[in-house]
Amino acid sequence: MSENEVLSKDEVGALLTGVADGVVATNGGVKAKGEVTAFEYKSSSNVSSYCPASLVNIYTRTSRHLQSSLFELLRRDVVVELESIRRHRYDEYFATLEKPICIHTVTAKELPGTALFVIDAALIYDFVDNYFGGAGEPAMSSEDNDIEREITPSEIVMSRKLLDLMLKKLSESWTAVTEITFDYKGFETDPTMVTVAAASEAMLIVKLGINMTGSVNDCHIAMPLSMLEPVRAKLEASGQGGLSERERFQRMMRQSLRKVPVTLHGNLCEIPLTLRQLLSLSPGDILPVDLPSSIELQVDKTPVLFGRFGKSRGMDAVCIAGRAVPEQQDLHSNEALK
């Protein structure tokens, strides 16, 4: 029996025989507490998650700029907040949408695929009412909440005005990462009539909460995750600035450092004297000096080089022998020059 074996072959054989004959009792297992629930493999929790910090910054900046623009347009206090950025399957997300609703389809020249801007009907009603100087009252009373009202053509036109404002601010926010140019494609009020991705495709859903009349209404920006693939590297690199920007900064820093003037200091010798000896010195006295075999050169009291002291072309000089290292042995010893 080796050291790594718990049981020998004979012991394992005897144990199996005992179990088969019923001589060795076996544990039937312990029943787990709770109920067994079915696991849905198509659930959105199984969709790959992707939301870099730079993407959060983009939509946070978009919310802030959109809030300022709506205030200037409506002359009314408006609050726009980034509520969430989550991923869902395409079919699961559309199952949550209810009529009436306004869905605008948008593409980008730099990105593949089609994005959706989903605006709640209540948000459109509030925007129209505030735009034309209304009192900011809800569009429908509580008695009419159960009555489905179609979005009128004029309200669709106004929703396009709101969309254009959002696209402008979103495009400006994207400039921190890359240039994105959005193109408007069309609109639809029935979710079942919109198909921009496969049912199982992962979608990134950005939820903006817009408060114009005391109640928060939602606007969703939905795009397939595959739409972000061309700018994925830039998104991941923009947390500390763009990749090209960092490389350019490092290159400029190296070039600038090479031009910085520094002064090398070398201590040729040290002569210990007492104060009495120093005061007793007079012109003509000779102090014996033993020049070291190596000299340490410093920049701002930091050792950087070491070398040998001597002469070159009739001038006192130092021949560089190497670079100083903090863990290096005594530079003044002969061992440092070997």
Any idea how long the chain is? 338
From-to residues of CATH 2.30.330 in the chain: 265-281+289-337
Which CATH topology does 44-136+151-247 take?
Chemotaxis protein chec (3.40.1550)
pLDDT at 327 over 80: no
pLDDT per residue over 198-221, tens digit each? 888 888 999 999 998 778 888 999
Alpha helix stretches (DSSP H) within the chain: 9-21, 53-74, 90-95, 121-131, 153-174, 232-237, 243-258, 275-280
Residue 54's pLDDT is what? 83
CA–CA separation, 312 and 327 (whole Å): 31
CA–CA separation, 141 and 324 (whole Å): 82
Mean of the per-residue pLDDT values of the chain: 79
Of 150, 143, 147, the closest CA to residue 125 belongs to 150
Residue % of the chain over a pLDDT of 90:
18
Structure tokens at 84: 């969430």
142: helix, strand or coil: helix
Of 300, 299, 298, 337, the closest CA to residue 319 belongs to 337
Structure tokens at 306: 């070491």
From-to residues of CATH 3.40.1550.10 in the chain: 44-136+151-247
Residue % of the chain over a pLDDT of 70:
77
Give the C-alpha distances (Å, rounded to integers) separating 122 from 64, 149, 211, 266. Answer: 21, 11, 11, 79
The b-or-e profile of 214-246 (16+ CB within 10 A means b, else e) is eebbebbbbbbbebbeebeebbebbeeebeeee
Residue 118's pLDDT is what? 93
Is the preceding peptide bond at 52 cis, omega within 30 degrees of 0?
no
pLDDT at 326 over 60: no
Query: Given pLDDT bands bounded at 50, 70 and 90, which one contains residue 334?
Result: very low
Of 272, 324, 315, the closest CA to residue 294 belongs to 324
Query: Given pLDDT bands bounded at 50, 70 and 90, which one contains residue 117?
Result: very high
Provide the whole-model pTM: 0.55
Q: What is the mean pLDDT of residues 59-87?
A: 90
Of 120, 325, 327, 324, the closest CA to residue 213 belongs to 120
The b-or-e profile of 251-269 (16+ CB within 10 A means b, else e) is eeeeeeeeeeeeeeeeeee
CA–CA separation, 251 and 50 (whole Å): 31
CATH class of the 265-281+289-337 domain in this structure: mainly beta
